[in-house]
Amino acid sequence: MGNIFAGSEIVEIGIQIEKNGFDFYTALTGQTKNAKTKEILKFLAGEEKKHIAVFKGILSAVQTYEPAESYPGEYFAYMNALASEYVFTQKDKGKEIAKKAVGDKEAIDLGINFEKDSIVFYEGMKKVIPEYDLKLVDQLIAQEQKHLQILSDLKHGL
């Protein structure tokens, strides 16, 4: 079985996730009437934009990578399964999903799920990037975890 993704393609998926996150939070900012929610959503949109830049920097350094596997293609099949199940890997899904949110609580729940899914995907991504970029991805994961906490606190405050 051939590789489903090269390391660079997985990083490109990370960029798409962040673009969708930016679109998602930006669209929700325009939908909410709650000032605190609006402020937090603007902050999160800005964070997603920063993450795009980080991934673009990583992308320039990623080469084809063959992780240790139990059988040929195992790891790339795993990443393919993650990507195909994660709606934010699909182009222009951020705005589309935001439009479906009915109320702030549902929007926040969607954001919480987005952040959780991103963390899982980025943990998997760590196997296909150069070792010197691991710290950057770990920092992004920590930021996504912080975003998860912010959204959880916001949800409890609504």
| The pair of three-digit structure tokens given for residue 65, joined into one six-digit string | 């990578």
Residue spans per domain, the chain: 7-157
| The pair of three-digit structure tokens given for residue 79, joined into one six-digit string | 């990443």
pLDDT, position 132: 76
Give percent above pLDDT 70 in the chain.
84
Give percent above pLDDT 90 in the chain.
42
- CA geometry: angle at 147 spanning 157 and 28, to 5°? 70
Is the domain spanning 7-157 CATH 3.40.50.150? The answer is no
H or E segment to which residue 150 belongs: helix 134-157
Please check whether residue 77 is in contact with residue 1, taking contact to mean a CB–CB distance below 8 angstroms: yes
Q: How confident is the model at residue 5 (pLDDT cuts 50, 70, 90)?
A: low
Please check whether residue 151 is in contact with residue 129, taking contact to mean a CB–CB distance below 8 angstroms: no
pTM, two decimal places:
0.81
Q: Chain-wide mean pLDDT for the chain?
A: 83
